Structure 1
Amino acid sequence: MELSLLNLLLVLVAAWLGGLLATRLGYPSVLGELLAGMLLGPPLLGVLHGSEALAVVGELGVLLMLLYIGMEIDPQELGRASKGGVLAALGGFITPFVACYLLIYSVTGSAYAAMFVGVAAGVTSLATKSRILVDLQLLDTRIAHVMMAGALITDTLSLLIFAGVIGVAQFGSVSMVQLSVVGLKALAFFSVAALAGLKLIPRFGAWLQRYAPGRTVSFLLIVVLALLYAEGAELAGLHGILGAFLAGLFLRERTLGRTLSRDLMDLVRDVSLGFLAPVFFVMAGFEVTFEVFWEHPVLLASVIVLATLAKIIGTALFYLPTGYGWREGLVLGAGMNGRGAVEIIIAQIGLSLGIIDTTIFSILVFMAIFTTATVPVLLKLGVDWLKRRGELVRSDHERRGVLIIGAGTTARALGRVLARSQPVWVVDRNPQLCALAEKDGLQARCGDALDEQVLSEAQAAHVRTFIAMTGNAEVNALAAQLARTVFYVPEIHVLFSGGDEAEHQSLLTHLHATTLFAGSVSLAAWDYRIEQERIVRSKVRVEQAGSAARFFRALQGPRPTLPLAVLREDQYWAVHSGLTLQPGDEVIVLQAVDVVAVPRDRFDRLVAEASVLDLARQLSLEEFFRKASEALAARLELDAETLQQRFLDREALSSTVVFPGVAIPHVIVEGQGRFELLVARCREGLQFPGQPERVHAVFVLARSEDERTFHLQALSAIAQILQREDFEQAWLAAAGPEALRRLLLESERRRLPLPAGSEPGEALPEA
């Protein structure tokens, strides 16, 4: 058995290109891999060909793929499935199974072939559903939850019945004795598998966590475990994929630990779906025959039509006892009509065992392609139908509440308002902020917002709205992506604090999210204003319908204004760019006061009077110090060229870069009581000698000898400002020189007592 590396390479390239094209068109990659095998393999062009060695590679990929599917499915979710989900799953499986069984049996006379076709017709593709639900923005609807639960149950049920069919088919005929033997062997396997899964695998997981042999060894060990389960299934007369699937069900996060479980799932997914399984699906395309279109067109059309109608009608009929109506049942059936990888695996195994022939196999493949391709169209038509009739039910009773990422002052202020009408959870890494949130009556979870377990404990799987409003744009984006792709949160709002607007819009489009507050907002500035009580809170009644974004723009004037939340029919909602304000809505608005008379120190005054340079293009160090010297020379009563040379000479002694991206050049000048500050931002960055990173923030200091003490105080003040987690982002995102000045003035730091002769009541410039 020799493996042709060139053929393997070509198969992988074909799988990658086909899968990429399919996903770009909104379909699962397995359809592209199948089509690649059909077009480039023996059925059409004959460029690719199969081999025994290649088949082994593909079969290993399928085993690992079923292991991954098992690890993805939470058995508790099956137990928690709603009544509607269970009924939809049963109707969507039993009806097409029976209909296609009767059709194939009447044509071929083979009960085993008929059972294989029936099982394949009953399958529902879970991956296809989740992608389509996101694209159509249906995650917050009742039909979405029923479809996801139904697909989960159907796939599990299909694998169990498929295993039984395999066991019976091995005898060649059916009798009570043979059925009893098959049943006993299957029962013995499930008993041993469950006993090992509940008693031995947890100990195995604890050993892995304790001794931490590394990802590579851990991956090898769970693959060995999956193969042991697969071999056990084979010995019981079942198929190995069922054993791998069961092994995955027991290899849960509770068994392996959160970190190790996630790492191993990623490895299994990458190796199976990214490398080995595509070989299987391309080779499955090799077995298809296009002759079925002209030799058995009636049978092909009959199977496709019958499987589609039986799935839709059966789901609707079984769904009637829920009381939600037959129209919703029909739409559910249309959404669950797509088949996917599991059906192809079942069909391929049936072909390899000789239970079905290439004609039946080809019909099943074309059924999978056709039904999956029609799901987005049928589901959209059905949803539009329900919308027109006012029967598309948003699942408020199933998802309720708000999860806010970030527990800063503005986040807590928003949370307090929203909590008047719904539960609010907050997540933050800072224990002090979480304590303040709990004091405000919010439910807080202290931890990393990018940790799935933390989000799960903060009810991410049950909330209706997810708000990402930390000072870190990257954290906001990644947390929002987790909320959408892992927890299927229907409403996602992301803070925009300036910066790359095109990148922000791309994120919103990708996640079907909206901009929190409907415009660009400086979180740090509003945190400071609220803490210092430098705001006026009011309610603005909406008189004319319009977008929240337009409302946000209309509010902006000389004083910064923030539309915090909207009150509509006794419910409070966050303001966001996707919101349309209606007449009668009341918007809670925060507006900054004109002046502030809070105690301040000498450094605040220095910042208030400092020159601020906002440099758009990259400069040489000589050019920068020339500009800085020209701005400072008059105040210091020095020649600009002389001052420039002093800065350059000081820089030649040792670098004044104190933090990555931050420099504090300083020189001593003649006289007494002289201390000047110049602040500069260089968007493209300054290259200081010997420094790997460019500098974007520069604090230029010039002082006389007698100001040594205040020099140290100024350095301490700058260091405290730089400790802000969002300083770099806020610095680069600031709108201009005065915004940079406000950023420094509004940053939290320890302020020293005012010097003698100062006037405490003097106001700083409006921030």
Structure 2
Amino acid sequence: MADASGFSLVQAVILLGAATVAVPLFRRLGLGSVLGYLAAGLAVGPFGLGLIDNPETLLHTAELGVVMFLFIIGLEMRPSKLWALRRQIFGLGAAQVVTCGILLTLVAMAAGVSFPVATVGAMGFVLSSTAVIMQLLKEQGDTASPQGQRAISILLFEDLAIVPLLALVALWGTLSSPADLNSEPVWQAAAIAVTGFAALLVAGHWLLDPFFKIIARSGAREVLTAAALLVVLGSAVFMHSVGLSMAMGAFVAGVLLAESNFRHQLEADIEPFRGILLGLFFLSVGMSLNLRIVINEWHLVLGGVVIFMLVKAIGIYAIARLTRATHATAMHRTALFAQGGEFAFVLYAAALAAGIFDVRASAIMSAIVILSMALTPIVLIAQAQMRRRAPTAVDLDGIDAAEDLRGRVLFIGFGRFAQVASQGLLARSVELSVIENNVEMIHAAANFGFKIHYGDGTRLDVLRASGAEMAEVILVCVDDPAVADHIVELCQAEFPMTKLYVRSFDRGHSLRLINAGVEFQIRETFESALVFGQAVLTELGFDEEQARDAIDEVRERDKERVELELIGGLEGGRKMFRGNTEAPEPAPLFKTRTS
């Protein structure tokens, strides 16, 4: 059952079993799937239980996971969007790579390492793990956020940086050893790389979409999947053949297909392969960690991990702050990028082949990179915990704090609900005071002409400064039910003559507000959902009167049910609902007005 490389079906079962056990466990513990894969690989690898003794073979196969991952990312990056990120790619990305590379090189040279070895070791560590960072961004749902886009821009520049770094390694190897008459000049290699990149762009722009249209006409789903794999792997192999990275080839292919009509189909076809192979990549990296080297050279390995991550973190934070990132954003980017990455293995292997690294140096540097990759999820978790515990400093530049406000109506919270609710009041020139503690929301509202003051509605001093005592009505429109309850309690105790209108979250929250005696409460989605349902009934052929009567019946039945629950008849309300319809009980969505 073994193939030519010695990798057998039994070993595949071992890997799948280890991943199936470790990944859910680590995710349950909040450590993320990446660390689970790395731990599983270490456990079954040659330096763990020894169930698999050829991680290098698996690593070459699993690198396809990174290739397909970059293709999926490329599909999400339309050319226009990528062009808009050009300054971040070649500005922010270059600044981070160059700054961290210089700092780490100086640190390595201070430890007595020669300049070529220090530079190659440092630059390998500078190239952060595309696979780890993209997986973490995806798990956190940050790939489409501005912060995620900046991270992707930096990763793209790092992917590009591997090309000149490999050329530099080849040049040093040539200078340090007798000239090889069969080797090509550096300028020739660069020209081939540029020509190949241009050829892929031209072929992708003019040929890919017509190619998939021809395949789609066959009507065979499996052929379209095969064609998608052909494009991804073919682009990766072609780019590798001209001296560029396979991941870059797959990314370019994805970008070229981002505007294609087949984009979503391709993404669906590639996704299963991408997920499995990317998991195998992390497993193989975990198996590659040489515990003997770590034990025998523990002072160099652990010292290298701590010092390299610390120095790189300082460089990343400095660049982030110089580019006007907030402290929180800079700290998050630092935690995300402070590790080494998979491109380090490629660079160190080239350095070993060129004679710049010896076997011991290559093993030590590889162990440093692997341990740093394993520490990344833990560093992110620690950074998130510190951010939660630390008092957040709010940047109020250009924002006025609540002070001496005198509106007839006071809004507490100004999200989507409050913005809509304010329109009628503004149309009749009602004087409003609005406080909000979300700085981004205040800036966004200012773009549309709203004057929002910064203030925390849970604090009595802020409420007094906001004019709560003199306001005729206070509108509590915050997202959190517990916060809303606290504001209601505070206002009723300190401003009993002011009427309270409160946005409710669900039926239980509505009941609490009614019992508290607020003048009016309404569930945030109930009325809009009723209008939505009425429109559907009309579309299905019911006349306007029938649709309106049906919705009025739902509204009245819900009101009666709330009244029954208020007098302790919760079970009676449920029986009434079941008596009116055989449909299952719906999720609470509505708030009623008090009578």
What residue in structure 1 maps to residue 166 of structure 2? 166
Task: Answer whether contact 2:93 2:155 (CA < 8 A) is retained.
Answer: no
Deviation of 1:363 (Å): 1.1
Task: Answer whether contact 2:42 2:283 (CA < 8 A) is retained.
Answer: yes
Task: Answer whether contact 1:95 1:310 (CA < 8 A) is retained.
Answer: no
* 1:430-579 superposed matches below 5 A: 541=498, 552-556=510-514, 563-564=521-522
Q: Secondary structure at the match of 1:180?
A: helix
> 1:227 aligned to 2:228?
no
Per-residue CA deviation, residues 700-748 of structure 1 (Å, 9 max, x unaligned), is xxxxxxxxxxxxxxxxxxxxxxxxxxxx46x65699xxx9xxxxxxxxx
Opposite residue 192 of structure 2, the aligned amino acid is K
What residue in structure 2 maps to residue 300 of structure 1? 301
What residue in structure 2 maps to residue 33 of structure 1? 37
What residue in structure 1 maps to residue 254 of structure 2? 248
- Identify if the C-alpha distance between structure 1 residues 73 and 110 changes in structure 2 by more than 3 Å, giving closer, same or farther: farther
Opposite residue 156 of structure 1, the aligned amino acid is L
Task: Answer whether contact 1:119 1:158 (CA < 8 A) is retained.
Answer: no
Opposite residue 345 of structure 1, the aligned amino acid is E
* 1:95-244 superposed matches below 5 A: 95-104=99-108, 109=114, 111=116, 114-115=119-120, 117-123=122-128, 125-127=132-134, 130=137, 147-170=147-170, 173=173, 178-207=185-214, 211=217, 213-244=219-250
Opposite residue 261 of structure 1, the aligned amino acid is R
* 1:745-760 superposed matches below 5 A: none
- Identify if the C-alpha distance between structure 1 residues 221 and 562 changes in structure 2 by more than 3 Å, giving closer, same or farther: farther
Per-residue CA deviation, residues 503-556 of structure 1 (Å, 9 max, x unaligned), is xxxxxxxxxx8679989xxxxxxxxxxxxxxxxxxxx94679999889843543
* 1:307-346 superposed matches below 5 A: 307-322=308-323, 327=327, 330-339=330-339, 344-346=341-343
Deviation of 1:7 (Å): 0.8
Q: Secondary structure at the match of 2:188?
A: helix
**Unmatched 5+ stretches in structure 1:** 396-400, 405-413, 423-461, 465-512, 520-539, 566-573, 577-598, 609-678, 684-695, 699-727, 740-765
Deviation of 1:133 (Å): 5.8
Task: Answer whether contact 1:92 1:333 (CA < 8 A) is retained.
Answer: no
Q: Secondary structure at the match of 2:75?
A: helix
Q: Which has the larger radius of gyration?
A: 1
Deviation of 1:119 (Å): 3.9
Tell me the distance in 1 between the aligned counterparts of 2:42 and 2:233. 30
Tell me the distance in 1 between the aligned counterparts of 2:154 and 2:92. 9
- Identify if the C-alpha distance between structure 1 residues 100 and 295 changes in structure 2 by more than 3 Å, giving closer, same or farther: farther
CA RMSD of aligned residues (A): 5.2
Give the TM-score of the pair, scaled to structure 1: 0.49
Opposite residue 185 of structure 1, the aligned amino acid is I
> 1:46 aligned to 2:50?
yes
Q: Secondary structure at the match of 1:336?
A: helix
Q: Secondary structure at the match of 2:185?
A: helix
- Identify if the C-alpha distance between structure 1 residues 217 and 104 changes in structure 2 by more than 3 Å, giving closer, same or farther: farther
In the alignment of these two chains, the number of paired residues is 458
Task: Answer whether contact 1:50 1:283 (CA < 8 A) is retained.
Answer: no
What residue in structure 2 maps to residue 365 of structure 1? 370
- Identify if the C-alpha distance between structure 1 residues 419 and 681 changes in structure 2 by more than 3 Å, giving closer, same or farther: closer
Deviation of 1:208 (Å): 5.2
**Unmatched 5+ stretches in structure 2:** 176-182, 400-413, 427-442, 446-478, 486-496, 527-544, 555-574
- How high is the sequence identity, in percent, across the aligned residues? 17
Give the TM-score of the pair, scaled to structure 2: 0.62
What residue in structure 2 maps to residue 268 of structure 1? 270
What residue in structure 2 maps to residue 615 of structure 1? none
Tell me the distance in 2 between the aligned counterparts of 1:193 and 1:231. 11
More helix per residue: 2
- Identify if the C-alpha distance between structure 1 residues 385 and 108 changes in structure 2 by more than 3 Å, giving closer, same or farther: same
Tell me the distance in 2 between the aligned counterparts of 1:100 and 1:322. 21
- Identify if the C-alpha distance between structure 1 residues 194 and 371 changes in structure 2 by more than 3 Å, giving closer, same or farther: same
Deviation of 1:224 (Å): 0.6
Tell me the distance in 1 between the aligned counterparts of 2:80 and 2:63. 29
> 1:14 aligned to 2:25?
no
Opposite residue 208 of structure 2, the aligned amino acid is I
Tell me the distance in 1 between the aligned counterparts of 2:205 and 2:138. 33
Opposite residue 359 of structure 1, the aligned amino acid is I
Task: Answer whether contact 1:92 1:312 (CA < 8 A) is retained.
Answer: no
Deviation of 1:296 (Å): 3.0
Deviation of 1:9 (Å): 0.8
Q: Secondary structure at the match of 1:563?
A: strand
Task: Answer whether contact 2:160 2:248 (CA < 8 A) is retained.
Answer: yes
Tell me the distance in 1 between the aligned counterparts of 2:315 and 2:56. 41
Tell me the distance in 2 between the aligned counterparts of 1:178 and 1:228. 26
